[in-house]
Structure 1
């Protein structure tokens, strides 16, 4: 019995990686896009609490900007916790340096959108975004971080 378990564990190392469907498969194969999504997910996790409003904003951005189908979100979350994603996470800013200025600006705007979705406008979100802006070579966007009542809720209509 123990031998079977051991052999099964060893066999997993040699199995080909499972192919993910559609846009999610493309994300898994593109380390730059995966790094973008990882950075966005860091904003959701910034204060240590996954707020539903921030998770909704993150998933909406993934759907609208990256083309990831809403029904594939559980697989996306599994991908973000995979060894492949951890490898991208370690070199995220090297990878994000490959983005042009417009793409880096869009990424920062998405970070601000997720932070705004927070019900408390956590200070750690602001600090993280300021640091990200600096690392991306962009101007800080602090005035835009102030939560605008109703702005996120208006964007959410029809998504939930």
Structure 2
């Protein structure tokens, strides 16, 4: 079968901003092996950095940070950030976002259960963990077993090409 060209949600202005914790979108998994070549997201706040991430499950609740990409300050609205180096991804990898600890206004909006913005089936499991950019280096492993998950949807998607 053919592999979809994107994982995540079409970027639109959604009702909430969430927290400055890391959001690991365990429900937004890559359905096949391939290469990440771009991120597209909706920036609700022009100031500040946000990092888009790729995570890989390595044990029951353990996940390894494979790649983080800085999405720097820019105007509010939809932005596409192409990667000069395409990142190899494996089936089952998933996407995430995080901020710097000093970020007080999160950048990428979200929708959650009970919003009229989306249907419930448009929401995805997301672990919300108290980690920031200084804590999250490529190769680090986090245990999501102690963190609760919510069903939300962030205005970000990854573009990929199959192998």
TM exceeding 0.5 = no
Higher CA-based Rg: 1
Q: Which has the higher contact order (CA 8 A, sep 6+)?
A: 2
TM-score w.r.t. length of structure 2: 0.25
Give the structure with the larger helix fraction: 1
Task: Compute the TM-score of the two structures, normalised by the length of structure 1.
Answer: 0.26
Specify which structure has the higher proportion of strand: 2
